[in-house]
Structure 1
Amino acid sequence: MTQPGSRPAGASPGEPGDTGDTGDTGIVVRGVGRTYRDQDGAATVALDGVELSVPPGRFVSVIGPSGCGKSTLLRMVAGLERPDVGEVTVCGTTPQRAAEEKRLGLVPQGPALLPWLSVLGNVALPGKVNRRHNRRPEPDLVALLRRAGLGDALHLRPAQLSGGMQQRVAIVRAFGLQPDVLLMDEPFSALDEFNREAQHEQLLDLWEQQGTTVLFVTHSILEAVRLSDTVVVMAARPGRIVDVVDIDLPRPRTQELIRSPQFHAYELALRERLRDAFEQGVA
């Protein structure tokens, strides 16, 4: 049975099966493999033959069972690890060069704020580093913080903030760089459901304002459907892409839409694909 938005396994976001260049602000992963070895020499294949294209301005989520290589893939795109085989390009260049030019932003699972700086100081810090690569006029960071509901917290320090507020600061800090590509590794995993929904709205508001390309790792099916243009499903042993699902739902994705049969159809389809991916990994 054909499922909502289904494409052949291994097909990439964009045109079905297309793994070509996505332009100056996209992500391209070609034939990437990564193997780790323990002290005894035993090998674990984290990624094998991964092909992925993320077109400019798209919001693409990656889901899959634990150990399927989601975070490894994100670290490859961030330039924090290098593939054993294949190549990764971001904005038409290497991830390392894109990061140096401040074309790439990263939001990790934890907010990683400097405790001695205020909210405004933490958000402003990346723009003060390596100024020669600033490609655009500095944005109005106070306006960004206010847009994210942090206008009353500008001069507070991280210890004075809730976990949700700290994560919002980390997201605004990343958007404050005005990156062409934003990478997010389960940034809301530690939040309760109510705070997570609020963070979704703030994230989508900033994303729609700036038109940034987003690659987002999550374990939450609802989160993936609500946020994404496309969802990439991975399986483990070895880590690989087994399906790509386009989310053909209108924006904004309101609470009414989230409760609709169309939304639940995508949730069900992705749940079935995740079950298949898990079974493939343990077979």
Structure 2
Amino acid sequence: MNPPKIKRRVGKYEVGRTIGEGTFAKVKFARNSETGEPVALKILDKEKVLKHKMAEQIKREIATMKLIKHPNVVRLYEVMGSKTKIFIVLEFVTGGELFDKIAHHGRMREDEARRYFHQLVNAVDYCHSRGVYHRDLKPENLLLDTCGNLKVSDFGLSALSQQVRDDGLLHTACGTPNYVAPEVLNDRGYDGATADLWSCGVILFVLLAGYLPFDDSNLVNLYKKISGAEFTCPPWLSFAAMKLITRILDPNPMTKHRHESLCFYCMGNV
């Protein structure tokens, strides 16, 4: 008889199959041996992290996630380390990306999109109340649990309020071009909360339309469209949805339309 296979352990976690892999990290399925709870174990190679000068970004991601405890944000349970590895223990979310749902099934009904959008706005508003700005909100970074609830993930590009300069603004341009607010592109500084709200507006458009409001293979043209908020709502959107999207995707961050429109939304008028 073959001896039973000994499972690899990291602390109290039994490590299983690989469920994701990136340049700097592997994500493995693991189980808490004390409670039986499934978790996602993100394993980073210290040598690679240092070589690619990612240490500060990883530290920021960990510091950010420690601040956030919200039902619509992927939970960080603990961080461990060995001589060569960093282990980040995260909530195991099984429903895939919101992006996949749109890619496979196309645009959503308005009531379904509203539910996801409401959860997204609640999570983002909570993050902002804790001084955390995500800065890379997009459907690929929104996961779904078994009950279909949304979970914001990937705080690798997030900023903390301590990074705000004396002018009260953030100055690092980052994020995914199609979802980035115009003020992030103009390189004069931006408010992290208002920039995140723009990304939420783009996500809402994608949920309801099934395609991006701003898209061009030429980056210069894409940035021009974003800066001028050059987009057209599809004819199947309700008047209320069109009005909401138009108010959020206001290229002038100073007019406060983005914030006001969400207040109307949360009061149930949309």
The TM-score normalised by the length of structure 2 is 0.27
Q: Which has the higher contact order (CA 8 A, sep 6+)?
A: 1
Larger Rg: 2
